[in-house]
Amino acid sequence: MIGARTNKRLESIKVLVHEMLLSIECMVNRQEATVHLYGVSIFASMLAMKRGQNPELATITGLLRDYYVFKTGINEFPGPNSAEAVRTIIRDTGMFTEEEQITVLRSIFYQNDSSRNHDPYEEILKDANVLQLYFQNTGHRLPELDINRLRNVLNELEIVGEFKEEEFNQEKEMNTQFIEDKRRKLADIAEVLAGQNIIGIPGDERYREICRYWPDASIYKVLKNSWCAAFVYHSCRQAGFLLPIRYPNGIHRFAGVGAWLEWAQLPETGFFHLDEQDGFTPQRGDIVIYDKLLSDHSHDHIGIVLAGNEEDILVAEGNRDNKNYSSIFHRDRRHRILGYIRIDNSYRYHFRGEYKPF
């Protein structure tokens, strides 16, 4: 009975992955994704068998490893985003225990963290990935940490191999030290976008671009008349403020206002400010969070500040007043504003805690 259940869930995941792969329009990209995911899953299954772990669970983890990346075409944060994308999928199948779900999600989340050892399945997935990269193209250059990982796993398998280490680009490293005024860039981008009067319908290509980060099949329906936070997320990404679709262990995704408030008040950020708190005044590029502006719920709307004075602020918003279009306009600075988020221009996402899916 248990064997039948596990076979059924593996087949269910294969169908899910197959449907995702078919949605990739470019044939070359589809082939590359197929080779990569199935290659990683095969190596993961083999390593699990050798190390006395569950090969079926390892196979599933390998198949889902880069689900978000290949579904959306977005490469940043492949671990956190893919873990978040498949979290509800495997939960809703009803075929995985909570412990198994945690195993799969943590393995996917930590897939690129080679700086430390994790639990057996997390290490299996990381080892399977370097094996896939190596055997698919033995000339592929790998970072030093991955070279060490590859050397160890090949020794474990008693395979002799040659490695090419990725060259360090000193010029690139120096360029990353320059701090750009991303907040001003955020305001510039939001001003252009909001001024285009984007309509929140699938037929509007600009709206589809705002929604592309969210892998849900029904995302247009989910965000209908409720895409102000998705507009902010899109604008932030375009400006260089890169975040996963959900901050690890957060309650909400960044498509919701609550996620922005939650993230901005974390000890590692501290970006949230009340108006006039310690002399704070809103500036161009700040993010404004409203309180019970359009409903009886707290933090129910969000926008990006373009300018301000004592009486009002000029804002760029997606889904103005929940009327499903973007706009630039003035709002009363003293009316229904919870506070502001001022992201530090040097901010870069780096999660230091322990990922807890549930």
Spatial strand order in the sheet of 312-317 = 272-273, 337-341, 287-290, 301-308, 312-317, 327-332
Q: Examine the fold and report which residue of 150, 171, 192 is the final residue of a domain before the chain moves on.
A: 171
d(Cα 312, Cα 332) in Å, to the nearest integer? 4
Instruction: Evaluate whether residue 9 is within a structural domain.
Output: yes
Residue 238 lies in a domain: yes
* Residue where a domain terminates, one of 104, 138, 171: 171
Successive 10-residue mean pLDDT values, the chain, 358 residues: 67 96 95 96 98 98 97 96 96 96 97 84 96 81 79 93 64 60 98 97 96 93 95 98 97 97 97 92 98 96 97 97 97 96 97 92
HEC string for the chain? CHHHHHHHHHHHHHHHHHHHHHCCCCHHHHHHHHHHHHHHHHHHHHHHHHCCCCHHHHHHHHHHCCHHHHHHCCCCCHHHHHHHHHHHHHHHHCCCCHHHHHHHHHHHHCCCCCCCCCCHHHHHHHHHHHHHHHHHCCCCEECHHHHHHHHHHHHHCCCCCCCEECCCCHHHHHHCCCCCCHHHHHHHHHHHHHCCCCECCCCCHHHHHHHCCCCCCCHHHHHCCCCHHHHHHHHHHHHCCCCCCCCCCCCCCCCCHHHHHHHHCCCCCCCEECCCHHHCCCCCCCEEEECCCCCCCCCCEEEEEEEECCCEEEEEECCHHHCCECEEEEEECCCCEEEEECCCCCCCCCCCCCCCCC
In a domain, 158, yes or no: yes
Q: Please indicate, yes or no, whether residues 103 and 200 belong to a single structural domain of this protein.
A: no
Please answer whether residues 68 and 108 qualify as being in contact, where contact means their C-beta atoms are separated by less than 8 angstroms: no
The pTM score is: 0.92
Residue 115 is predicted with a pLDDT of 74
Residue pLDDT, tens place only, 177-211: 678 999 999 999 999 999 999 999 999 999 999 99
The pLDDT value given to residue 161: 79
In the prediction, which pLDDT does 177 show? 61
d(CA 219, CA 212): 9
* CA 197 centroid distance within chain: 27
Start-to-end C-alpha separation, the chain = 28
Residue 183: predicted pLDDT: 98
pLDDT digits (tens, 9 = 90+) for 139-176: 667 777 688 899 999 999 999 877 767 665 545 444 55
Residue 331: φ, ψ to 5°: -125, 150
349 found inside a domain: no
Give the residues across from 146 on adjacent strands.
none
β-strands 301-308, 312-317 pairing: antiparallel
Co-location of 167 and 56 in the same domain? yes
Whether 96 and 8 share a structural domain: yes
pLDDT in the model for residue 176: 52
Sign of the Cα torsion 276, 277, 283, 289 reads: negative
Ramachandran region, residue 150 (left: φ > 0; alpha: ψ -120 to 50; beta: rest): alpha
Domain contains 176: no
Here the CATH number for the domain that contains residue 150 is 1.10.3210.10
31 plus 119 within the same structural domain: yes
346 lies in some domain: no
Residues 101 and 61 in one domain: yes
d(CA 349, CA 246): 12
> Residues 120, 236: one domain?
no
Residue 132 inside a domain? The answer is yes
Contact 75, 42 (CB under 8 A): no
Q: Which of 171, 202, 233 is the last residue of a domain?
A: 171
Residues 54 and 123 in one domain: yes
Do 163 and 266 sit in the same domain of this protein?
Answer: no
Which structural domain range is residue 30 located in?
A: 2-171
Are 147 and 28 contained in the same domain? yes
In the chain, the number of structural domains is: 2
Q: What are the φ and ψ backbone dihedral angles of 191, each rounded to 5 degrees?
A: -65, -45
Residues 228 and 160 in one domain: no
pLDDT digits (tens, 9 = 90+) for 282-312: 999 999 999 999 999 999 999 999 999 999 9
Domain shared by 211 and 160, yes or no? no
Rounded Cα–Cα distance for residues 352 and 268 (Å): 9
Residue 347 within any structural domain of the chain: no
Q: Do 8 and 126 have their domain in common? A: yes
Measured in residues, the chain has a length of: 358
